């Protein structure tokens, strides 16, 4: 009798434990679904710290970059927050003589490629060597440009079609086997094939950045150096 009661009690405890486990997993699944529907959950862990658009500027002077961009109301900002691109501008601390800049005020070729061109030219005349990258994993828009002392050495931008293709393809692009179309060359291309190529190019932008300057994902919590930067507003003059 005592053994039977013991077994019964053990069975009840086991059932309660399994029930609680099921409820916990169900609650967790519902929370994840809610986060996914609100855009807070990503299936790609890298995307949490992966900017869609950024500059790499050869400099060790953040204040010079701040002045050239016309950033006002600067305030300290952790790298993990700034790299998301939610501020007008985020200027990272120098790493190996490169400064990463992200932000919603950076011009994008799909909005106005001419404005993007002139922005980079003006910035390069002040700061020297400026690189520009776009790797949008949603739209598959992508771009890269290297501008030195006001002259475009190489640039390519695809926004559903090629809107900028200037200069000779770099060795890094060739080695990474990125596909760059001429103006109008992709007009008759099958839509599925075009998207497949665009998605492949997007995944190679970070590798290209690493070869040209630095991969922004290489900077973070494990970096043995300053990981903070400054965030600020964009002045009107910077938007002209």
Pairing mode of beta strands 89-92, 98-102: antiparallel
- Packed helices 109-127 and 62-69: angle between N→C axes, nearest 10 degrees: 130
Residue 31 pLDDT: 46
Contact 18, 10 (CB under 8 A): no
Output the pLDDT for position 184.
85
Report the run of H or E that residue 102 belongs to, with start and end. strand 98-102
Strands 151-158 and 53-58, by their bridges, are unpaired
Determine the pLDDT at residue 20. 55
* pTM > 0.75: yes or no: yes
- Output b/e per residue, 32-56; b: 16+ Cβ within 10 A: eeeeeeeeeeeeeeeeeebbbbbbb
pLDDT in tens, the chain (240 residues): 555 555 555 555 455 554 554 444 454 444 444 433 333 333 344 555 679 999 999 999 999 999 999 999 999 999 888 988 889 999 999 999 999 999 999 999 999 999 999 999 999 999 999 999 999 999 999 999 999 999 999 999 999 999 999 999 999 999 999 999 988 887 667 778 888 999 999 999 999 999 999 999 887 555 555 568 999 998 754 444
The pLDDT of residue 16 is: 57
In the chain, where the domains are located? 52-220
pLDDT at residue 44, as a whole number: 46
Q: How many whole angstroms separate alpha carbon 229 and alpha carbon 90?
A: 7
Residue 145: strand, helix, or coil: strand
Spatial separation of the C-alpha atoms in residues 90 and 76, rounded to whole Å: 10
Helices (H), the chain: 2-37, 62-69, 79-82, 109-127, 171-176, 191-212, 236-239
> Given this model, what pLDDT does residue 42 score?
36
Say how far apart CA 56 and CA 99 lie, in whole Å. Answer: 6
């Amino acid at each position: 009798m005592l053994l039977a009661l013991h077994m019964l009690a053990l069975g009840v405890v086991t059932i309660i434990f399994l029930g609680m486990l099921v409820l916990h997993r169900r609650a967790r699944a519902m929370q994840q679904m809610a986060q996914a529907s609100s855009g807070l959950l990503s299936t790609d862990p890298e995307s949490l710290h992966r900017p869609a658009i950024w500059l790499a500027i050869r400099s060790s002077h953040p204040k010079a970059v701040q002045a050239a961009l016309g950033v006002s109301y600067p305030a300290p900002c952790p790298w993990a927050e700034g790299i998301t691109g939610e501020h007008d501008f985020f200027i990272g601390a120098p790493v190996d003589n490169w400064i990463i800049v992200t932000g919603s005020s950076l011009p994008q070729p799909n909005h106005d490629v001419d404005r993007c061109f002139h922005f980079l030219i003006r910035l390069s005349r002040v700061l020297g060597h400026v690189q520009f990258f776009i790797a949008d994993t949603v739209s598959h828009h992508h771009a890269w440009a290297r501008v030195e002392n006001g002259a475009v050495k190489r640039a390519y931008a695809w926004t559903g079609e090629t809107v900028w293709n200037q200069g000779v393809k770099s060795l890094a692009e060739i080695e990474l086997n990125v596909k760059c179309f001429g103006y109008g060359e992709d007009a008759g291309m099958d839509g599925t094939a075009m998207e497949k190529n665009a998605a492949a190019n997007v995944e190679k932008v970070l590798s290209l950045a690493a070869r040209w300057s630095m991969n922004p994902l290489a900077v973070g919590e494990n970096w043995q150096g300053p990981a903070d930067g400054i965030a600020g507003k964009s002045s009107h003059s910077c938007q002209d």
